[in-house]
Amino acid sequence: MDADFELKTAFERSTRPHLTTLYHSAYRLTGSSADAEDLLQELLFKLFRQFDQWRDLDNPKPWMQRVLYNLHVDLYRKRRRTHGVNERTLDSDAQAIDEMANPEPSPAVKAEGDQQQLRILEALQALGPEQRALVTLHLIEGHTLEEVSAILDVPLGTLKSRLHRCKAQLKRTLQLEPFPENVRLA
Amino acid sequence: MNCIEARQAIGHLDSGVRPEGPLAKHLGQCELCRQHYGDAMLLETLGSLKVPEPSPQFLERALQRASEEAVPSPVRSTKWRIPASLAASFLIAAAAMLIWDQMPEEQAVEIVEQRAPAEQVVALEAHRQEVRIVIHSSDEHAAAEVSIELAGNLELEGYAGQQRLAWTTSLKQGANLLVLPVVLHNERGEIRVRSQFGQGSHEVNVQVARKSQAGRTAPLVEPFAPINA
Ligand SMILES: [Zn+2]
């Protein structure tokens, strides 16, 4: 009993400082609060079962991130196989946006902001799970490609070409080209 | 405008404002600066994605569940290949099988094919015996939740006094075997095994009775054919 209690306490002490950051990553990966919660819960189950393997690490965060990204890829595949493409995630986008702490902007500004949020979430949604992990880690969370390579266990060269394609796709879907195609070619 | 000036101008563009004048002209001619412009806008756009804060209650509950429901070593080492399973369209054939320690030729097996909660009776020859639950999963699942509830005077060896155990596990495709070392202190008891994944859940109730109460069970039937959706 005492041993159980100690284990539990040690586990909580090691994970608690990282929970918010991990939740944020989970949200960026899944695009909805409900899915982010599911992913984080799965992560904690796994981390607890593997506690022996990481509890003595000086900095366990990369370990946690790695487990998170791997779980994300697994769960994404499973969900896709079982319910088609992310139905649930898309359904809950609007609700997730409502839940965001928003310091009372005017209705018009708020609606515009929501539109933009939805566009970003949809653009991310259109990427595959590995691509989405790469974009989240590198472009949003600011990890270097070397760090991403270690977290995802994907060779640097593969990441670079993947990143190139991701950026091109996102720029297209988010319409971030400086001019419409025909103008540029003129 | 040269490339250096163009990059500076891009850095000063207000968000959402399209390039105009000399910058627009330069971008129209220079592929590299266009690339740079697109990257800068992309980073700015992605950076504007708002992320909600997690609810503190959720975090507490999640931590709690992680350490309570993930079953640590003793029983798992025996062979909890728990398959839990299933997504919305779970199709499972679960079989509760009693292994008679000394008399393999008298194994009693009953199969429950279930889409709804099912009941299964097994007879225990001895005070302590293994009850095996086989769950067929049509798919592989990384994170299935399995819980066991015990009623009557039943215990799982190594878990004295615990009426409920739950943990998360992976299910492989096909047959997954869950071996429960059951200790029956009384004449009868009940084990409810529940597995859950995503929105699907699946349950089997196993009635356990001492041999004298239950009588001989059905002959050995095998293999357990998975049911397909
Ligand atoms: Zn240039």
Q: What's the CATH number where A100 sits?
A: 1.20.140.160
Q: Both B85 and B163 in a single domain?
A: yes
Q: Both B98 and B190 in a single domain?
A: yes
Model pLDDT, residue A184: 44
Residues 200-229 of B with CB under 8 A from A: none
B221 domain residue, yes or no: no
pTM above 0.90, yes or no: no
B94 domain residue, yes or no: yes
The percent of residues above 90 in pLDDT, for chain B, comes to 15
Q: Both B12 and B78 in a single domain?
A: no
Mean pLDDT confidence for B52-72: 85
Mean pLDDT confidence for B54-75: 77
A184 domain residue, yes or no: no
Q: Ligand 1 centre and the CA of A168: distance in Å?
A: 19
A114 domain residue, yes or no: yes
Q: Ligand 1 centre and the CA of B21: distance in Å?
A: 14
Confidence at B53, pLDDT banded by 50, 70, 90: very high
B229 domain residue, yes or no: no
Q: Both B34 and B146 in a single domain?
A: no
Model pLDDT, residue A12: 93
Nearest to B50 among A37, A82, A117 (CB): A117
**B64 to chain A, minimum CA–CA distance in Å?**
9
Model pLDDT, residue B161: 74
CATH number, residue B136 = 2.60.40.10
Q: Both B204 and B129 in a single domain?
A: yes
Nearest to A44 among B34, B62, B142 (CB): B62
Selected residue of B67, B82, B141, B170 to mutate for chain A interface (largest A Cβ count, 10 A): B67
Q: Ligand 1 centre and the CA of A170: distance in Å?
A: 22
Q: Both B39 and B104 in a single domain?
A: no
Q: Both B22 and B117 in a single domain?
A: no
A185 domain residue, yes or no: no
Token code pair at residue A114:
């929501």
Q: Is there a contact between A41 and B62 if contact means CB atoms under 8 Å apart?
A: yes
Confidence at B200, pLDDT banded by 50, 70, 90: low
Nearest to B45 among A27, A97, A174 (CB): A174
Flag whether residue B66 sits within 8 Å of chain A, measured between CB atoms. Answer: yes
- Enclosing domain of residue A85: 2-174
Q: Ligand 1 centre and the CA of B25: distance in Å?
A: 10
DSSP string, B16-63: TPPP-HHHHHHHHH-HHHHHHHHHHHHHHHHHT---PPPPHHHHHHHH
pLDDT at B25 over 80: yes
A180 domain residue, yes or no: no
Residue bearing tokens 């490609």: A145
Q: Ligand 1 centre and the CA of B38: distance in Å?
A: 13
- Is residue A65 within a helix (H) or strand (E), and if so which, with residue range? helix A61-83
A179 domain residue, yes or no: no
B25 domain residue, yes or no: yes
SS3 B185: strand
Predicted confidence (pLDDT) per residue in B81-115, tens digit: 333 332 222 222 233 332 222 222 222 333 333 33
Q: What residues in A contact B19, CB-CB < 8 Å?
A: 178
Nearest to B53 among A16, A82, A101 (CB): A101
Q: Both B131 and B37 in a single domain?
A: no
Model pLDDT, residue B147: 79
Whether the Cβ atoms of residue B170 and residue B144 lie closer than 8 Å to each other? yes
| Number of separate domains in chain A | 1
Flag whether residue B168 sits within 8 Å of chain A, measured between CB atoms. Answer: yes
Low-confidence residues of chain A: pLDDT under 50:
84-105, 181-186
A104 domain residue, yes or no: yes
Task: Count Cβ atoms below 10 Å from residue B81 Cβ, excluding itself.
Answer: 16
Model pLDDT, residue B95: 31
Q: Ligand 1 centre and the CA of A54: distance in Å?
A: 48
ipTM: 0.79
Q: Both B102 and B199 in a single domain?
A: yes
- Enclosing domain of residue B39: 3-47
Closest CA to B122 of B190, B183, B203: B190
Flag whether residue A5 sits within 8 Å of chain B, measured between CB atoms. Answer: no
| Number of separate domains in chain B | 2
A129 domain residue, yes or no: yes
Q: Torsions phi, psi of B48, nearest 5?
A: -85, 0
Is the peptide bond between A180 and the residue preceding it cis, with omega within 30 degrees of 0? no
Q: For strands B118-124 and B200-210, give the pairing.
A: parallel
B67 domain residue, yes or no: no
Q: Both B94 and B199 in a single domain?
A: yes
Model pLDDT, residue A77: 79
More confidently predicted of A142 and B74: A142
